[in-house]
Amino acid sequence: MINVTQIVKGMDQLDRLPDAMRVAIFGTNGGIGQALMQRLSAHPKVKQVESFSRRHPDPSRRFDFRDEASIARLGEGLAQQEPLHLVIVATGLLHDHDQQISPEKSLKHLSHEGMSANFLINTIGPALIGKYTLPLLAKDSKSVFAAISARVGSISDNHLGGWHSYRAAKAALNMMIKGFALEMKHKNPEAVIIGLHPGTTDTGLSAPFQSSLKHPLFTPDEAAGHLLAVIDGVNPSHSGSVIAWDGQIIPA
C-alpha cells in the first residue's frame, strides 16, 4: 500500500514532483478529467496544463481514437515544448446509449460492436497516447504517466463475472501499463507508469449503476484529490502497478 495523504479540499501538495511542472491531460470533457484539470491548473507547482479531448472547444486539441494521426499530431506539438512531468489519460467507456452499448450481464449479450468500442476506448486509445507521450517525459526528475483503469480489470479479483468487454478491455490496459513500465525502466528510470482506480465517482460513466452501490460515491473533485495524492506518493518501484484511490495496489 502507498502512504497517501488524501487532500480533497484546497491545494494538493504534490511534494514529490518538481516545481514548474508541465502536465498533459487527455479526456478533459469527462468529470474526472475536468476536475483534474481544474485542480492542476490552480496548483502553484504547475507551470502549464495542456488539455485534450474528443470534443474540445479548440479543434487543434481534439483527438479521435479511431484516427491515430490525430494523436500523433498532438504528440508532435507537445514534443516542440519542454518535457512533460505528468501525463494523465482520463478517457473511458462503460456504456453508450447512442451505440446501444452497456455492460453485459451474460455472455449472450456480447456483440462485436460492444467489444470493439470497449477495446478502442479503454485499451487501444490510452496505449496510443502512451506511444506518443512516454518519450516526452522528463528524465532529470520524477515523472508520471497515469491512465484511469478499474478494479474490475483485475483477473484474480473477478468473483462475479459479467461486464465481460469492460473487464477484458481494462485488463488489457493494465497489461499495456505493465509492458510500458518494463520498457521505460531502461529508457527513463525515473519515470513511473501506473493505472489508477478512482473508485465509483458521480459522473455520466457511473450514473446508471449508482442506485445499487454499497460503497462511497465520490464527487469528481474528491476523486481528483485522491488520484493526485496517489500520483504524488508513487516512485519507480510502483511502475507497472494499478493503484486504487486509497493507495491499495490492485492485484493483476
Q: What is the predicted pLDDT for the residue at 106?
A: 95
CA separation for the pair 21, 141 (Å, rounded): 10
Domains and CATH numbers, the chain: 21-250 (3.40.50.720)
CB atoms within 10 A of CB 25: 23
Tell me the pLDDT of the chain (252 aa) as tens digits.
Answer: 776 655 555 556 799 999 999 999 999 999 999 999 999 999 999 999 999 999 999 999 999 999 999 999 999 999 999 999 999 999 999 988 778 888 999 999 999 999 999 999 999 999 999 999 999 999 999 999 999 999 999 999 999 999 999 999 999 999 999 999 999 999 999 999 999 999 989 876 655 665 565 667 899 999 999 999 999 999 999 999 999 999 999 999
Give me the long-range contacts of 184-187 (CB less than 8 A, separation at least 24).
184/134, 184/137, 184/239, 185/236, 185/239, 187/135
> What pLDDT sits at residue 12?
66
Distance CA 14, CA 86 (A): 11
Q: What is the pLDDT of residue 160?
A: 92
For residues 224 and 153, what is the distance between their CA atoms, to the nearest angstrom?
A: 20
